[in-house]
Structure 1
Amino acid sequence: MSSRRTFLAGSTAALGLAATAAHAAPSVTAPQPAAAAGGRLPNLVVVLADDLGYGELGAYGQKLIATPRLDRLAAEGLRFTDAYSTAAVCAPSRGSLLTGLHTGHATVRANPSSGGQGSLTATDTTFAQVLRARGYRTAVIGKWGFGPEAAGQDSHPAARGFEEFYGYIDHSHAHQYYPEYLWHNDVKEPIPANAGGAKAVYAPELLERRALEFIGEHAAEPFLLLLTPNVPHAPSDIPDTSAYADRSWTAANKGHAAQVSWFDALVGKVVDRLRALGLEQDTVLLVTSDNGPHEEGGVNPDLFDANGPLRGYKRNLYEGGVRVPLIAWGPGRVRPGPQAMRGSTPPPPERSPL
């Protein structure tokens, strides 16, 4: 009988990640050596932005915010124009991404702040569990977003297939860019410089460093890295907004633009590390967002045309709330899209009537 585990295993096979019999549900408990007829299994790097709108990248028509690294990846790989999240807020969207379930069947159907179920359960099978069972090293670095904020429980990343975790467990904790601690696996690691509300260490930079270290540490074996920085979620807090200092924008809008550019640079550094280690031919990189752009903390999404030609933002069940950018890149495994071969980007679609 078909099952969700069978479906997830079949999905990995379709990506060239594993040869899985269609009738057999995979084991998700005992890792097995990875093997493939064509040689090494590909690494998977999934970079998930927090509230990045469909129109906030240059490859999707953005004019005011600089995103050169992502624009280049879009030209070298595939730029999807009709990719959708399953929800207009982060927790259910991320739950669906991890499990492959739409929000009618998923455990997490709302953000915990709305009183909804905010935790994954022992019955939730993630793609990390499936890949780990096939010999992949697995890590999630950044915002997890599924409480409770404690070790040794079913909703912790370690229980859902990730052998390494560094970042924020709890949904609301991830709103802090200068936290007094981050979790490393099942231990809280203090950040003493941020004690008492000080703003000395910008947490996204710690996430970046650990992600690059993970790639280097596992360069010789297939790995899954789910990198989930908490930018450009409100508040628009970032150490350096100098790139937009000459704009007559509010501080919140300058901060937001700088956060998007920081995200762009982060992805660029991941690509640079892959290239430096000779892994670009053996890696598939996916970059996307959990939902549409936010309009919080003084940020004006209309200034940036953050939803592109679409209507609505985060929390809205219009196209702008759920259609997201998605870029797939992998020189050895992802064939460039037509726009890359023509050397130009096609115009955005007509504004949605929705």
Structure 2
Amino acid sequence: MGLALLAPLSSVAEEHGANKKKPNIIYILADDLGIAELGCYGQQLIETPNIDRLAKEGMTFSNHYSGTAVSAPSRCILFTGLHSGHAYIRGNDEMPERGNVKDHRAVLADSTLEGQRPVPAETVMIPALLKQAGYTTACIGKWGLGYPGSDSTPNKMGFDFFYGYNCQREAHTYYPPFLYRNERREYLNNPLVVPYTRLDKDADPYDEKSYARYTLNEYAPDLMYKEIINFIDLTKNTPFVLFWTTPVPHVPLQAPKKWIKHYVNKFGDEKPYTGNQDYFPCRYPRATYAAMVSYWDEQIGGLIKKLKEEGIYDNTLIIFTSDNGPTFNGGSDAFFFDSAKPFKSEWGWGKASLREGGIRVPMIASWPRKIKAGSRSDLLCAFWDIMPTFCEVAKVECPPTDGISFLPELLGKKQREHDFLYWEYPDSGGQKAVRMGKWKAIILNIFKGNRRIQLYDLESDPREQTDVARYHPDVIKRIEDIMKKEHTEPEIASFKMPD
């Protein structure tokens, strides 16, 4: 952290020092990581030894769901404990009424064009609640829930410290010209290379030198990791909560050369990605994607080592998960990695879809001597359960949410369970979904007038291939009632869906 911020954050930590026996909480959120892209979830090609070790020492969940199918609303649901039928943010909203928000040169010159739609100032988020319990709070990574100067920047929502991307669009390069330190831009030693810049017309796509312009000086995930270690140094004697909201492995495909070389040696040569599906081109797309995941796994190993060195690992609850399923563009290859196995993950089935591949995500929980090592859970749970869980861990009153604390499950005690989970998503044609026991119901293409509910038995049909709705009218009736009851009209026009 910069010297200007050392004193303020140290003061916050000192104020909370009397609560130092409370457990620390670290929530690690991947970006577009598929449920099967970790070794502990069956991945065969990408190496994730540190995350796998975390799973071996803790609990692995098989029925955990993200807030929804894409980034900003999933994060809103995470931080507020309200599912997508009640949440304020229900889709990615770039607020184009502000001007040319997708012009990265304009954004560099005018910060009022960056960032996504904010939530109301009175919104209560997890960090504000945990601050009441004496925690020092930090978010390091990607925000996406309020543009600079709005009512819902990270600091205004309860985080003592923020470092990273305020704007999701600016995270479309891992070598950005700036990041945010709290409310201010911090300019980096990176010139602006506009996201989606293609190869030069006369460039040889098989020549590594053709891609040199896309690798610059300061790699954002490196900078974020340094801030995480510094945050631990400053708060190790006090209770803290850290949300590590990394942009990894969201495209573009950019990774440290060491790890790219490792996977080029492992996979062999491959066809370059020339940028025809957006984002930056990449000489070795499969190797680079795997490199991004393994590089981040290495950082997670470094964080765990740091916690152990400081003697606070045993008093730290770590939750690891992903904001939605695997992506389908930018040179990524979910088919090659079988990224959502046993679910489908291609376009229409992974990210931006309420199919299982789009919202069923990995979750690992580790807390030495509290959570049984090597344990597994099939508890039906979702992002809106995080707020009540963390409030129970911190022993602070939780406001009304759609969630249920799963702390009893972590501790091996009797757990109250959801009767159902509900989602709605106003993009990708308009979708609604319900998970109820073994049943998965989904409506697609709502904006085209479709109202037909498809029904799948996930026990026998996890890939959602055989619609059995006509055989179970009683289940369909219950699903219809749930969809009607759980939907509230959104305040934002772009999130409205036909009745």
Identify the TM-score tier after normalising by the shorter chain.
Answer: 0.7 to 0.9
- Find the partner of 2:191 among 174, 195, 198: 195
Please list, as runs of the form range in 1=range in 2, the aligned pairs for 1:116-265 lying within 5 A after superposition: 118-148=117-147, 150-151=148-149, 153-191=150-188, 193-197=189-193, 199-240=216-257, 241-246=260-265, 247-248=267-268, 249-250=270-271, 251-265=284-298
1:350 and 1:209 map into 2 onto residues whose CA distance is 46
Deviation at 1:121?
1.7
1:89 matched residue in structure 2: 70
1:159 and 1:327 map into 2 onto residues whose CA distance is 29
The structure whose RCO (Cα within 8 Å, separation 6+) is larger is: 1
Deviation at 1:243?
1.4
Contact kept? 2:16, 2:239, Cα under 8 Å: no
1:47 matched residue in structure 2: 28
> How far does the alpha carbon of each residue in 1:127-177 deviate from its partner, in whole angstroms, 9 at most, with x for none?
1000011110000001011232x23x3110011000100001112112220
Larger radius of gyration: 2
Contact kept? 1:309, 1:351, Cα under 8 Å: no
Taking structure 1 as reference, are residues 114 and 309 closer, same or farther at Cα in structure 2, changes over 3 Å only? Answer: farther
2:320 and 2:364 map into 1 onto residues whose CA distance is 5
SS of structure 1 residue aligned to 2:362: strand
| Aligned length in residues | 311
Contact kept? 2:256, 2:291, Cα under 8 Å: no
Deviation at 1:179?
0.5
1:43 and 1:350 map into 2 onto residues whose CA distance is 40
1:277 matched residue in structure 2: 310
1:268 and 1:87 map into 2 onto residues whose CA distance is 28
Contact kept? 2:22, 2:239, Cα under 8 Å: yes
Please list, as runs of the form range in 1=range in 2, the aligned pairs for 1:97-116 lying within 5 A after superposition: 97-113=78-94
TM-score by length of 2: 0.60
Read off the aligned partner of 1:139 and give its amino acid letter.
Answer: A
Read off the aligned partner of 1:170 and give its amino acid letter.
Answer: C
1:33 and 1:235 map into 2 onto residues whose CA distance is 39
1:319 matched residue in structure 2: 356
TM-score by length of 1: 0.83
Structure 1 stretches of 4+ moved >3 Å: 31-36, 113-117, 337-340
Deviation at 1:253?
1.5
1:9 matched residue in structure 2: none
SS of structure 2 residue aligned to 1:64: coil
Deviation at 1:265?
1.2
Q: CA RMSD, aligned part only?
A: 2.2
**Unmatched runs of 5 consecutive residues or more in structure 2:** 1-13, 98-115, 194-212, 272-283, 378-458, 465-499
**Unmatched runs of 5 consecutive residues or more in structure 1:** 1-30, 341-348
- Find the partner of 1:79 among 14, 37, 60: 60
SS of structure 1 residue aligned to 2:317: strand
2:26 and 2:222 map into 1 onto residues whose CA distance is 18
SS of structure 2 residue aligned to 1:87: coil
Contact kept? 1:310, 1:351, Cα under 8 Å: no
